[in-house]
Structure 1
Amino acid sequence: MLTSAIWLPATLAAGLFQAARTAIQQRLRATLSVNGAGLVRYLYGLPVALALWFGYAAATSAHLPPLSPTFFGFALLGGLLQIGGTNLLIMAFGERSFVVGTAYAKTEAVQGAVFALWLLGEVLTPLVWLGIAISVVGVMTLSLGGKGLKLRDVFGALWQPAARYGLGAGLLFALTSIAVKRATQTLGDGDVVLRALTSLVAVVTLQLVMQGSYVILRERGQWRAVLGSWRTSMWVGLLAAAGSAFWFTAFASAPVALVRTVGQVEVIFTLLLGHFYLREPLKRAEALGLALVVIGVIASVVGSG
């Protein structure tokens, strides 16, 4: 099923970088709009993405894969979907807590599995599907803030604004993964890391053009705020670019649903960051959610073998 053993460490690293980036980006919401907070990822992330690409190409003496209109089409689509998902996720933060907003968005694993089966023909084993289901139950346990798994609580939470924003973000992130994988596939069968970094540079460049243009036209004052926040924003860009490099590498090496499921270790990192960095209180029932996420991830990895 898998084309490279690199996908697992790449996914774990991506989850760690993404959790750290999101924690810092949440702090920017005090001074930036939704679009401004999203823009910092691309404005400060593009130099990092370019440095990673040139550094890797120089170290390996690799050559640029052939680019096609199809590649740029999928890169554009993936970039646009990720912008939408990021904005919805930031909006979810504003409705409840940092940990809860991220947990709702992590339904992207099961959404990604369904769409990858439909659009990419990625067939998963029953054990992987079971792992996805268990991990999603785990993140939903966390998202309910320790209320447990009572049916009325689950359905009641789904009607809250944070849930709608989070679920929408999960859908767009799942589709982003598929678009990015397709973009990478158009680059041939060469070095998987170089293909992933090439896709990363293209996507981030297009995202900067798209969201930067929107901010100039609709929220011009945010540009000054984004530039003025450089001390914090540069870390968001660094972590976002590094995390995306790992995500893109994993997507190019393994089924989308498997990567997204294992990537839910981000929730564990998020919970720890939410407690130690954002001072959010930990609840006893969250231990159950964490355990389910771990069990689901392990089942998915074993099932993929």
Structure 2
Amino acid sequence: MDSWILWTLGGAFFQNLRSALQKRLKDDLGTLGSAFARFVYAWPLAVGYLLVSAEVTGVSVPDVQGVFLAYVVVGGAAQIMATVCLIEAFSHRNFAVATAYSKTDTVQAAVFGLILLGDALTALAVLGIAVSLVGVIAISLKRQQASWRQLLTGWLQPAALLGMAAGAGFAFSAVCYRAASLSLEPVGANVQAATTLAWVLGLQTLAMGAWLARRRPEQLRAVLASWRVSGWVGAAGMAASVGWFTAMTLENAAYVRALGQVELIFTLGASWLAFKERSTAVELLGIAALVAGIVILLLGTA
């Protein structure tokens, strides 16, 4: 099994764990506070991971250049923009449609990857991405009590446009992070990915921390005071990002984003184990399509 597959599965698992932990923080810290906790407590861990990775592999931390910094800044800004768009979409009545449209990030990552890096996709991989996308959208719509008709007729509504913008931001940031890692001296995927992650988290922490200090100082104080709980969110988030960044350094970002949709299966599995929730027929069909799409994708990348 290719290593990028294992890194992606690890990233999806820890992202699911981080999301579960972050939901508990949201009531106490608010949306922005819980998001900042993810960055500020993950950053020092990412720096430590970088130093340990370099020491274990016997290489030096690569020097950064202007091209690397440009990709990191633009990618980090795109990720923040995507998060803001998704949060804004929740204020609209049909936010379920927005969530579904945000799942088009796999397709958009393929387009951005081709334009920026010349990352082409095989025909079989394109088919796999398309099949898995149908499965993911079906699961998302069912879980939020929305219909395919709403999806197809509401694509010009503000919520849908916000969802597509969020998907574009997440897709573009993924491609930028891959480009940043590949622009570094080839000292090994682990160290290159760790370098990119440390810089991205650092810049995002400083940018969001400065904004909170100016506009929401009470939320900033609450995040810093909640370190006993927030620290776990940062640790899970850092572990997830290590998986994503390393996988995207090794392989096309569109493939990584598509395989990473397995996170939905982890979420449904956790709901079944923890809360004994049963999946509906539509959700089971969505899972089947998602799994089939992932199998086709992996066959297309073999």
Q: Same fold (TM over 0.5)?
A: yes
1:272 has 2:272 as partner = no
Could you tell me which residue of structure 1 aligns to residue 79 of structure 2? 82
Deviation larger for 224-233 or 260-269: 224-233
Could you tell me which residue of structure 2 aligns to residue 155 of structure 1? 152
**Secondary structure class of the residue paired with 2:292:** helix
- Report deviation, 1:188: 2.4
**Secondary structure class of the residue paired with 2:59:** coil
Alignment identity in percent?
38
- Report deviation, 1:66: 2.1
Deviation larger for 61-70 or 151-160: 151-160
1:180 has 2:150 as partner = no
Could you tell me which residue of structure 2 aligns to residue 61 of structure 1? 58
Aligned partners of 2:243 and 2:102: how far apart in 1?
Answer: 19
Unaligned runs of 5+ in 2: none
Aligned pairs, number: 302
Unaligned runs of 5+ in 1: none
Superposed, 1:1-305 pairs within 5 Å as 5-90=2-87, 104-145=101-142, 151-156=148-153, 158=155, 163-274=160-271, 276=273, 282-305=279-302
Aligned partners of 2:275 and 2:261: how far apart in 1?
Answer: 20
Aligned partners of 2:208 and 2:272: how far apart in 1?
Answer: 31
**Secondary structure class of the residue paired with 1:169:** helix
Counterpart amino acid of 1:240?
Answer: G
Aligned partners of 2:5 and 2:149: how far apart in 1?
Answer: 36
- Report deviation, 1:94: 7.0
Deviations 1:183-236 (A, max 9, x none): 111102221100000111011000101111111111111112212332331111
Root-mean-square deviation (CA, aligned residues, Å) is: 2.9
**Secondary structure class of the residue paired with 2:29:** coil
- The answer as to whether partners of 2:97 and 2:151 remain within 8 angstroms in 1 is no
**Secondary structure class of the residue paired with 1:31:** helix
- The answer as to whether partners of 1:261 and 1:297 remain within 8 angstroms in 2 is yes
- The answer as to whether partners of 1:45 and 1:240 remain within 8 angstroms in 2 is yes
Counterpart amino acid of 1:217?
Answer: R
TM-score by length of 2: 0.89
Aligned partners of 1:187 and 1:215: how far apart in 2?
Answer: 32
Counterpart amino acid of 1:54?
Answer: L
- Report deviation, 1:148: 10
Larger helix percent: 2
